[in-house]
């Protein structure tokens, strides 16, 4: 063994990873400290009750939390079947060369800035949705609805979702495919009974990551969600609420109130509280996704 030299590369790497971690922790602490006043003012009702009216100092955000969750769930529910089919096609059916071309094109889609999707949403999707609602005789207000935002988000997370799904399928070793085919299983049987169970942890992880992305997406949602406050449905009204205007945490933070709140401590703190809720949920989801992916895959591959 050689004498230990001072390892610059190692040092630089450590410094930058500490910096990254510190940034994340710093944001968390900043949001936490900044929102203390709102938590003190509202307590648990900040999350559980529904009345947001900054002029009267009501900061109860349930409707926005509901809107955020609803939009992201719609996006995932719509995107998963398509993403799964695309991934099965690209990883199990396509040849290697066409797979790379397909994957390249899909990843190109993932790189389209979200404002572009947002503009397409404003120009086309919201009008299509409104026409659709009217054809279905739904008594709706306009094309700006939670469902519209969900559909737009589904299109946006689809590339990420299908490329991560594809990675999950490809991470299953080819020995399983060979063995399955050797046993005389058909391609469908191989895919659904051998590969899919093996890839499951990766798929779940991909799903959670995409869900996190959908929760945090701002501008595209902002443009088509309607930005109507305090629309928190009763249990029977959930379905109708999806075809009505709503508000998400991101559309609130992207709106006018961040400017109005300047100088107003409580209002600012309530907005930072919203950011904290979003931050904790998304970071939490990402952590769970990483744990699921690493733990389950080590179980199955071994």
| CB nearer to other proteins: pick between 27 and 82 | 27
What are the CA-CA distances from residue 243 to residues 57, 64, 77, 115, 287 (Å)? 29, 16, 16, 22, 32
Q: How far is the CB of 93 from other proteins (least distance, A)?
A: 25
C-beta atoms surrounding 183 within 10 Å: 10
Q: What are the structure tokens assigned to 18, written together?
A: 């500490």
Q: How far is the CB of 162 from other proteins (least distance, A)?
A: 14
| CB nearer to other proteins: pick between 151 and 275 | 275
Binding site for other proteins (CB under 8 A): 17, 20-21, 23-24, 27, 53, 55-56, 122, 126-127, 130, 139, 141-144, 164, 209, 212-213, 216-219, 222-223, 226-231, 245, 250, 253-260, 262-264, 275, 278-279, 282-283, 286-287, 290
Q: How far is the CB of 42 from other proteins (least distance, A)?
A: 17
For residues 73 and 241, give the distance between their C-alpha atoms in angstroms, rounded to a whole number.
14
HSE-up (13 A, CA, CB side) for residue 22: 6
Q: How far is the CB of 21 from other proteins (least distance, A)?
A: 7
| CB nearer to other proteins: pick between 171 and 286 | 286
Q: How far is the CB of 112 from other proteins (least distance, A)?
A: 15
| CB nearer to other proteins: pick between 160 and 190 | 160
| Residue 80 CB-density burial (10 A; 0-12 exposed, 13-18 middle, 19+ buried) | buried
Q: How far is the CB of 143 from other proteins (least distance, A)?
A: 7
Query: Is residue 164 within 8 Å of 106, Cβ to Cβ?
Result: no
For residues 52 and 49, give the distance between their C-alpha atoms in angstroms, rounded to a whole number.
9
Q: How far is the CB of 259 from other proteins (least distance, A)?
A: 4
How big is the CA angle at 197 (ends 193 and 199), to the nearest 5 degrees? 125
| CB nearer to other proteins: pick between 100 and 115 | 115
The residues facing 7 across adjacent strands are none
Give the N- to C-terminal CA distance of the chain in Å, as an integer. Answer: 33
How big is the CA angle at 59 (ends 56 and 63), to the nearest 5 degrees? 120
What is the secondary structure of 230-255 as a DSSP string? T----GGGHHHHHTS-B--HHHHHTS
| CB nearer to other proteins: pick between 97 and 234 | 234
| CB nearer to other proteins: pick between 45 and 258 | 258
């Amino acid at each position: 063994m050689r004498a230990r030299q001072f390892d610059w590369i190692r040092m630089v790497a450590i410094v930058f990873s500490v910096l990254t971690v510190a940034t994340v922790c710093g944001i968390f602490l900043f949001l936490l400290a900044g929102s203390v006043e709102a938590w003190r003012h509202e307590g648990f009702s900040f999350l559980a009750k529904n009345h947001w009216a900054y002029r009267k100092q009501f900061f109860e955000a349930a409707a926005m939390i509901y809107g955020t969750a609803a939009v992201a769930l719609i996006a995932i529910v719509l995107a998963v079947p398509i993403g799964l089919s695309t991934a099965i096609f690209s990883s199990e059916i396509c040849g290697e060369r066409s797979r790379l071309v397909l994957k390249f094109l899909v990843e190109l889609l993932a790189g389209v800035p979200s404002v572009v999707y947002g503009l397409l949403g404003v120009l086309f999707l919201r009008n299509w949705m409104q026409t659709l609602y009217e054809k279905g005789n739904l008594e709706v207000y306009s094309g700006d609805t939670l469902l519209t935002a969900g559909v737009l988000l589904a299109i946006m997370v689809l590339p990420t979702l299908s490329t991560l799904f594809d990675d999950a399928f490809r991470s299953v070793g080819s020995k399983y495919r060979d063995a399955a085919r050797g046993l005389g299983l058909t391609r469908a049987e191989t895919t659904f009974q051998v590969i899919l169970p093996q890839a499951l942890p990766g798929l779940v992880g991909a799903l959670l990551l995409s869900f996190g992305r959908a929760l945090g997406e701002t501008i595209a949602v902002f443009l088509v969600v309607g930005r109507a406050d305090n629309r928190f449905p009763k249990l029977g009204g959930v379905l109708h609420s999806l075809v009505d205007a709503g508000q998400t945490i991101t559309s609130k933070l992207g709106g006018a109130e961040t400017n109005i709140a300047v100088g107003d401590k409580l209002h600012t703190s309530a907005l930072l509280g919203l950011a904290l809720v979003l931050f904790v949920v998304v970071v939490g989801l990402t952590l769970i996704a990483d744990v699921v992916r690493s733990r389950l895959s080590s179980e199955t591959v071994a």
